[in-house]
Amino acid sequence: MKSIRIFTPATVANLSCGFDVLGCCLDTVGDEMLISLTSEPGIRITKIEGADLPMETDKNVAGVAVQALLLDYKKDLGVTIEIYKKIKAGSGIGSSAASSAGAVWAVNHLLGNPYTPQELVKFAMEGEKLASGNAHADNVAPALLGGFTLVRSYNPLDVIKLHSPKDLVMTVIHPQIEVKTSDSRSVIKHNVSLQQAIHQWGNVGGLVAGLFTEDYNLIGRSLEDVIIEPLRSILIPEFKNVKNAAIEKGALGCGISGSGPSIFALSKGLKIATDVAEAIRVVYAKTGLEFDIHISQINSNGVKIIEEIQ
C-alpha cells in the first residue's frame, strides 16, 4: 500500500470579470487529504473530519472525481480517501474543488503521473458537476495548476496557466451565512447586452495582460464586473461597504469570490492586504454576523505533498 498526505488549496474563482473562466490558488487556506492505493479494488472514503459530508463514494466529490480518473485509466485499482476539511462547504472559496482536485492529483501522483495537471482538470470537473450541477473548471484548474488560470474554452477544454506577479496578496472574508448556489445562480441573467460584453471582455484581456506584464495598476483597473456582481452582490450583506473599505485602504480590486458569500480583495504587498483585512473586519463587526478573514499569497504550485508513506 502506498499513501500520500497532501495539502489541497482553497481557490478564488471568477476574479470579478472572468465568470466561470478565471481563478487563482490560495496558499494559507486549504484541506488535507490522505490518499492510498490498496490491493482491494474499489474506491472507499474511510474518514471525513471537520465537516458533515457524505461518505458514499458517489455522493462525495472526491469519490466521483477519482471514479472518472479510474474509468479513463482502465485498471481495476483500489483507492482509499481520508478528508480533513478546513474549508467550509458553500463558502465560495472552492471547498468542493479542493476535494475533487486533491483526490485526482494524489491518485495520479501515486500512479507515477500518467496524466498532466491539465488532463486532471476534466476528472476533477466531474466532482464539481456533482456539487453544483455544472462541470465548471474555474476552481479545480487553479487548485491543480497553481497560480492564476484561464479556461479559454470548455468545449474542447483548454486551460491555460497565467503568470502570477509575486507581490499579489489576497484578503478573503467569509461571512458565515448561507447563500444557496441555486439562489446565486438564479439571480444571474442568461443574456447580456453587447455593450456589457465589450466592457467585460476588455477587462478579461486587461487582467491577463496585467498579470503577464506585472502591471499592478492594470490588474486593478481590470478587476471590474459589470454583469454578475451587480446582481449577486445583493445577496451578500455589507458588500458595498466592504468593497469601499478595501479600495480606500489601497486594494487593487475587490469582488465576490466564486458564487459568494465570500468576498476577495487583491492587493500589492502584505502590508496593504493586512490593512484591508482590518478595515473589512471593522465593517463586518457591526453586522453581528460570524465571519472568518484569510490573508494569503498566491500559491503558484497548487496541491502540495505533506508526506509520502511507502
Contacts of 33 (CB under 8 A, 6+ apart): 5, 6, 8, 62, 81, 82, 83, 84, 99, 102, 103, 106
CA distance 21 to 15: 9
| Nearest CA among 85, 94, 99, 90 for reference residue 43 | 99
Give min distance, CB of 23 to ligand ADP, in A.
11
**Residue 32 catalytic?**
no
Amino acid at 141: A
CA distances from 151 to 66, 97, 126, 262 (A): 22, 15, 16, 22
**Cis status, amide bond into 230, omega within 30 of 0:** no
Instruction: Tell me if residue 128 is catalytic.
Output: yes
The number of CA neighbours under 13 Å toward the Cβ of 226 is 16
Q: Does 83 bind ligand ADP (CB under 6 A)?
A: yes
Q: How far is the CB of 195 from ligand ADP (least distance, A)?
A: 30
All three cell numbers of 50: 471537520
Is residue 90 involved in binding ligand ADP (CB under 6 A)?
yes
Stretch in the footprint of ligand ADP (CB under 6 A) among 53-61, 228-236, 237-245, 294-302:
53-61
Long-range contacts, 153-156 (Cβ 8 Å, 24+): none
Task: Give the end-to-end CA distance of the chain in Å, rounded to a whole number.
Answer: 7
Least Å from the CB of residue 234 to ligand ADP: 18
> By rule CB under 6 A, what string of x and - marks binding of each residue 60-79 to ligand ADP?
xxx-----------------
CB nearer to ligand ADP: pick between 58 and 307: 58
The amino acid present at 150, given as its one-letter code, is L
Q: Which of 22, 101, 131, 251 binds ligand ADP (CB under 6 A)?
A: 131
User: Can residue 258 be called a binding residue for ligand ADP (CB under 6 A)?
Assistant: yes
Stretch that binds ligand ADP, among 20-28, 72-80, 85-93, 241-249 (CB under 6 A): 85-93
Residue (60 or 203) nearer to ligand ADP, CB? 60
Q: Which is nearer to ligand ADP, 61 or 169 (CB)?
A: 61
Strand partners, 254: 265
Residue 185 exposure: Cα atoms within 13 Å on the Cβ side: 8
Q: How far is the CB of 88 from ligand ADP (least distance, A)?
A: 7
Tell me which stretch binds ligand ADP (CB under 6 A): 15-23, 87-95, 162-170, 211-219: 87-95
Kindly state whether residue 132 participates in binding ligand ADP, applying the rule CB under 6 A.
Answer: yes
182-216 as b/e: b if 16+ CB within 10 A: eebeeeeeeeeeeeeeebbeebbebbbebbeeeeb
- Could you say which residues in the range 168-227 bind ligand ADP, by CB under 6 A? 181
Which residue number, 52 or 76, has a Cβ lying nearer to ligand ADP?
Answer: 52
Q: Which of residues 99-118 bind ligand ADP (CB under 6 A)?
A: 99
The only residue of 12, 17, 21, 53 in contact with ligand ADP, by rule CB under 6 A: 53
Interface with ligand ADP (CB under 6 A):
53, 60-62, 83, 89-97, 99, 131-132, 181, 258
Residues tagged active-site = 128, 181
